[in-house]
Structure 1
Amino acid sequence: MHDPHSGIHSEAGGLPGEHPGRMRNPVIKVRDLAWLEFEKPDLRAAERFAHAFGFTTATRTPDELQLRGTDPGAPCVLVRTGTRSRFLGPTFHAADTADLVRLADATGTRVRPLPESLGGTCVELADPSGLPVRVVADTHVLDALPGQHALPNNVGGELRRVNATQRPPRAPALVQRLGHVVLQSTRFRRTLDWHLENLGLIVSDFLYFDGQRHRGPTMAFIRCDQGSVPSDHHTLAMTLGPANRYVHSAFQVADLDAIAAGGEYLLGEGYRRSWGIGRHVQGSQIFDYWRDPDGFLVEHFSDGDLFDNTLEPGWAPMTASGLAQWGPPATKDFLGIARGRESITEVRSMFHSLREDNEWDLDRLRGLMKVAAT
């Protein structure tokens, strides 16, 4: 039996000659994930779910919905009207405009202005999997909103609450900020290296298919390099798979009570939990996953790891049981193998990709099938 508590980050590092998890001289170093962009046919349904999930509407027009958290900054999700539901790509914050000029020069692009509703400027790129990637600077900063605070807990001998009760409201868990996005690529290694080289991201943890470590990693949890300033364990995670697609995105909330009470509110509104509540291994976050009306997977999380740039990547085998330290087993819905349109599309992609020029082959297919069984 696989022990999900073994091989946690610092207990297993890289071997000589394995991927170092960072580039020596990246073009720039982005400082954070700015926002995610989607296209959806029904903005009203998207906004209803967003409010139940804990977002606040920053801007609403007939053609676009900008959603934000309570922290100051740019909106963290942009939704545009479209004929079908699709993920349009991630946007990262550069440190300043000078970095945008440097990135544009290195990639043969140019710095463009953003719409007035967002402000600032951007460089528009595409990674090796074909996904549009934006890098922005000097965007408008929205003021902070009243937030949801973590409840005071009596832990062990530390008394923080006396003559007072706990009564967390069964209400939306207020989103504080965008934490990370997870993407799947048929060209995992090339796409990983592109992000490390151009955006200066660094790897916190690598996962590999059991018995295939010699072929290199198949998943990477990647953080921003802010030097001695701690950064989220992963701002971007990437995994090898048979199709280039969005996997999920994650949004920070106050604490476990916010996650649990907010989950009860979502259930009461008729929305569907995908997997949770539990605590991850890589990143350590307390998590809860939900499906929005368009089928996109979104996560509430709290209490994630923060690393500075001194930590080297951890290495561990990829298994379904190793996704959480505690909580219910990973569901078929979360793993993408539940019966339905998504699983059918993924199965078709598995065999179609075997005929394409990419990193997906029969050994990788066997490795991925083994993941769900261990």
Structure 2
Amino acid sequence: MAVGHDPHTGLHSEHGALAGEHPGRAAHPVIKADDLAWLEFEKPDLARAEVFARAFGFAVTLSTGRELHLRGTDPGAPCVLIRRGARSRFRGPVFRAAERSDLLRLAEFAGRPITPLPDALGGVGVDLADPNGLRVRVVSDTHELPALAPQEPHTFNFGHDARRRNATQRPPRAPARVQRLGHVVLQTTKYRQTLDWYLEHLGLIVSDFLYHPGRRDRGPVMSFIRCDRGREPADHHTLALTLGPANRYVHSAYQVADLDALAAGGEYLRDHGYHHSWGIGRHIQGSQLFDYWRDPDGFMVEHFSDGDLFDATLEPGWAPMTASGLAQWGPPATADFLGVKPGKEALRELRAVFSALREDNEFDAQRLLGLLKVARS
């Protein structure tokens, strides 16, 4: 690398598509989902899951020994539902329809029944399956939990704009208070098929595409996807999809008030012996301040703050996928975050590579080489 060269030059993806590339949206989607409602998991030890959830910053709305509901301070449905199961696994995402009529239209299109949800949640839902077989639930008319007292941002002295006088800044080393669920990231062996499925069924639109360096001609291998709310801005991504050797959950992200909440909350997690994966830093795609942790079952979860909001007028950006391009500033991406840290997870991914290369999917030898190049970049 040349002396003085900025490795982030050209990584910011305000540049749009070339002729013939994926438009990043469906011409005639069935519905336009309003938001990500919650995520569902199964875990064998709900008591342990609850202890971590409180340390991470969730409030608990239901804890029966068989089921655990976690929420943030914002009004709405719980962020996370965990049911007791024989093994730890991600069951799938749940999206919220803007109106009951959307749910009816989606159910008719998919040939699936609309069923009532449990009394603790209220409302109704329809269950679909994406091209990887993952259950995707869409719901409507769920109970609206009232807002909880938020974690108030501090008063900052930025430059010469000194608003705090005769007062100190003492953020407590305590759990960050989760405000809401932000996004979920999924890996798929059928990236293009899966991308098109979510765009067509749920009306999601792409904010940014990433491609393997030097292989843009083969198309994107990752997309950051937001809800289409027209002129109302939505999170830069509610769902992110990436091509890989296995169909799996990658991580989910939860908003907190500010950098102090994120950092002090992280120190609290560290003090209580939880596993830090990567951070603190600021992403490029989405611009979020981020900090990544592992829960006791190995699931990666993210605290984030200060993310981008886009309305439906912005077209997708395109950029090369590189490890250094994951952040504008912060420590280098760790082996744990990249999934290459020696251990059970890396071994599972390695086995998945050999399996995927023998099957009919989008993860071929050239894509493997591209992924290895990303990890080294």
1:241-277 deviations in Å (ceiling 9; x for gaps): 0000000000000000001100110011110110000
Alpha carbons of structure 1 residues 5 and 50: separation in structure 2 relative to 1, 3 Å: farther
Partner of 2:74: 71
Identity %: 69
Q: TM-score, normalised by structure 1?
A: 0.99
User: How many angstroms does 1:3 deviate by?
Assistant: 2.0
Runs of 4+ in 1 over 6 A off after TM superposition: none
Taking structure 2 as the reference length, the TM-score comes to: 0.98
Task: Give the corresponding residue for 2:271.
Answer: 268
Matched, 1:4 2:8: yes
Give the Cα–Cα distance (whole angstroms) in 2 for the partners of residues 330 and 360 of structure 1. Answer: 23
In the alignment, does 2:365 pair up with 1:359? no
1:36 and 2:39 matched: yes
Q: CA deviation at 1:150?
A: 1.1
Q: 1:303 aligns with which of 302, 306, 313?
A: 306
SS at 1:73's partner residue? coil
Matches within 5 A, 1:259-338: 259-338=262-341
After superposition, the C-alpha distances for 1:315-362 in whole angstroms (9 at most, x for unaligned) are 000000000000000000000000100000001101110111111100
Q: 1:175 aligns with which of 155, 174, 178?
A: 178
Q: Give the distance between the partners of 1:363 and 1:339, measured in 2 at CA.
A: 24
Secondary structure (helix, strand or coil) at the match of 1:347 reads: helix
Q: Which deviates further from its counterpart, 115-124 or 156-165?
A: 156-165
- Separation (CA, whole Å) in 1 of partners of 2:337 and 2:255: 19
SS in 1 for 2:167: coil
Q: State the alpha-carbon separation in 2 of the partners of residues 149 and 312 from structure 1.
A: 34
Equivalence for 1:145 = 148
Amino acid in the other structure paired with 1:7: L
CA distance in structure 2 between the aligned counterparts of 1:22 and 1:284, rounded to whole angstroms: 22
Residue identity in the other structure for 1:370: K
SS in 2 for 1:343: helix
Alignment deviations for residues 142-191 of structure 1 (CA, whole Å, 9 cap, x no partner): 00001101111111121221111100000000000000000000000000
Query: Which amino acid in 1 is paired with 2:237?
Result: H
* Aligned position for 2:97: 94
1:60 paired with 2:63, answer yes
* Residue 244 of structure 2 is aligned to residue 241 of structure 1: yes
Q: Unaligned stretches of 5+ in structure 2?
A: none
Deviation at 1:5, TM superposition (A): 4.7
> Post-superposition shift, 1:100?
0.5
Q: For 2:124 and 2:212, locate their aligned partners in 1 and report how far apart those are by CA, in whole Å.
A: 40
Alpha carbons 1:5, 1:322 under 8 Å: kept: no
Letter in 2 for 1:6: G
Gaps of at least 5 residues in structure 1 are: none
Partner AA of 2:296 in structure 1: P
The residue identity in structure 1 corresponding to 2:314 is: L
Distance in 1 between the 2:160 and 2:40 partners?
Answer: 46
Would you say 1:189 and 2:184 are equivalent positions?
A: no
* 2:51 alignment counterpart: 48
Name the CA distance, whole Å, in 2 between partners of 1:6 and 1:153: 32
Q: How many residues are aligned here?
A: 373
Counterpart in the other structure of 2:351: 348
Q: Distance in 2 between matches of 1:213 and 1:229?
A: 31
User: Residue 209 of structure 1 contacts residue 217 of structure 1 at CA under 8 Å; is this kept in 2?
Assistant: yes
2:30 touches 2:109 (CA, 8 Å); kept in 1? yes
Shift of 1:118: 0.4
Selected match of 1:206 from 206, 209, 219:
209
Distance in 2 (CA, whole Å) between partners of 1:222 and 1:166 is: 37
Match of 2:114 in 1: 111
